[in-house]
Amino acid sequence: MELSAYAQGGCRLLGDPRRLSRRAYAALLRAAFRGVLQPHGGVADPELSDVDPAVLKQCHAAAAACILEAGRQRADRAALSACLEECKLDRERIEQFCTEYQKNREALEELLGSIGRAPPHVTDVSWRLAYRIQTHELHRAYQPTYLLTLSTENSDTGAQPDLSFSCTMEQLQAGGKGRICCATLLVMVFIEVVK
Partner 1 sequence: LVLAVAELGHLAVELLRRGAAPKACEAAARKLNAGVDTVQHGVEGLMYLLTESSKLMISEMDFQDSIHVLGFSDELNKLLLQLYLDNRKEIRSILGELAPKLPSYHSLEWRLDVQLASRSLRQQIKPAVTIKLHLNENEDLTTQVLQTDPSTLLHLIQQLEQALGEMKTNHCRRIARNMK
Give the footprint of partner 1 on this chain (CB under 8 A). Answer: 71-74, 109, 112-113, 115-116, 118-127, 129, 131-133, 135-142, 144, 146-148, 150, 152, 163-169, 171-173, 175-177, 179-184, 186-188, 190-191, 194
Determine contact, residues 16/59, Cβ cutoff 8 Å. Answer: no
Residue 34 CA to residue 193 CA, distance in Å, equals 37
Based on CB atoms, which residue is closest to partner 1, 57 or 72? 72
Least distance from C-beta 163 to partner 1, angstroms?
6
Least distance from C-beta 60 to partner 1, angstroms?
20
Based on CB atoms, which residue is closest to partner 1, 22 or 74? 74
Least distance from C-beta 135 to partner 1, angstroms?
4
Least distance from C-beta 128 to partner 1, angstroms?
9
Based on CB atoms, which residue is closest to partner 1, 49 or 164? 164
Residue 107, classified by CB atoms within 10 Å of its CB into exposed (0-12), middle (13-18) or buried (19+), is middle
Rounded to 10 deg, the angle between the 91-113 and 77-86 helix axes is 120
Q: How many Cα atoms within 13 Å fall on the side-chain side of residue 89?
A: 29
Based on CB atoms, which residue is closest to partner 1, 79 or 92? 79
In Å, what is the CA distance from 16 to each residue of 21, 35, 37, 52, 53?
Answer: 8, 22, 25, 13, 15
Least distance from C-beta 39 to partner 1, angstroms?
15
Based on CB atoms, which residue is closest to partner 1, 59 or 66? 66
Residue 76 CA to residue 105 CA, distance in Å, equals 10
Q: Which amino acid is at 109?
A: E
